[in-house]
Amino acid sequence: MKILYIFPHPDDESYGPSRAISRQIREGHDVALLTLTKGGATKERLKFGYSVEEMGEVRHQELICAAGSLQLTTLTVLDFPDGGLKEMDPRILEAAIKSTIADYQPAIVVTYAVHGVSGHPDHIITHAVVKTAVTEMIAAGADYLKRLAFYTVTERKNPPKNWLKRSTYSKPEEIDCVVEAEEIDRENFLNALGCYKTYQDRIEKSGIRKSKNKSVYFEIYQEDFDPPLSDLSAQLKEL
């Protein structure tokens, strides 16, 4: 089954659902990634003396490395302004997203939950434009689209130091799917993170490498599962 993840920045896929992506690929799914920016505006570029354009090219190459570590089927990287998606005409973003969806024809599309996990404006805008693009395509007859899902996190009682400090969490009753990763998926997640050489200081400070959490959480648009599904491809229906 084809699954398309759509995020605004390089490393969103690795920090986020990479363990679930790894499991989905091991289970035979065809998984692709669309990234809307090259991520060049990050302040991490100042450590290396890079311009926004130079950092974008470096992060693009790091993303290609991460995609290889996860064995993604397809990687599409656009060059919309990092940190500037909120200033764009959303119709331009929606058109680009629709074009990639039409080319790839996934059964499942995944992006950030409405709060964007970290609250970053690019994350929140991406949620909005992906939701609009997918629902409009379904209304127009794109019957290959079967499910829209949102990667999210849920509150943890004893999180590691600095772990997702700024996150906004989904309530337990909003979680519709929990994918449980195995050790090989954690290894693939760590390998993908390792590709982001310019972000290693931030990665170490986050404590994410030390996390033993095996659960990856998703909300599913207009579907409600209690208990949650264990596989995003289970019990598909028409939207």
> What are the pLDDT digits (tens) for 97-107?
999 999 999 99
pLDDT score of 213: 84
CA distance 40 to 163: 23
Mean pLDDT throughout 171-180? 96
If pLDDT is split at 50, 70 and 90, which confidence band does 111 have?
very high
According to the model, what pLDDT value does residue 159 have?
53
The stretches of 105-237 forming alpha helices (DSSP H) are 121-139, 183-194, 200-206
Reported in sequence order, the residue ranges of the chain that DSSP labels E, i.e. its strands, are: 2-7, 30-35, 74-77, 108-112, 147-152, 177-180, 215-220
Tokens for 131?
Answer: 């939701």
Choose among 151, 116, 107, 7: nearest CA to 66: 7
CATH 3.40.50.10320 for domain 2-220, yes or no, is: yes
Give the model's pLDDT for residue 208: 87
Predicted structure pTM score: 0.94
pLDDT tens figures, 203-215: 888 888 888 889 9
The whole-number pLDDT of residue 169 equals 84
Among 14, 2, 1, 29, which Cα is nearest to 188's?
14
Mean pLDDT, all residues of the chain: 93
Supply the pLDDT for residue 207: 85
* Token reading at 57: 């090219």
Q: What is the mean pLDDT of residues 137-157?
A: 92
Q: Using alpha carbons only, how large is the chain's radius of gyration in Å?
A: 17
Give me the sign of the Cα torsion angle 40, 41, 42, 43. Answer: positive
Crossing angle of helices 52-70 and 183-194, in 10° steps, is 160
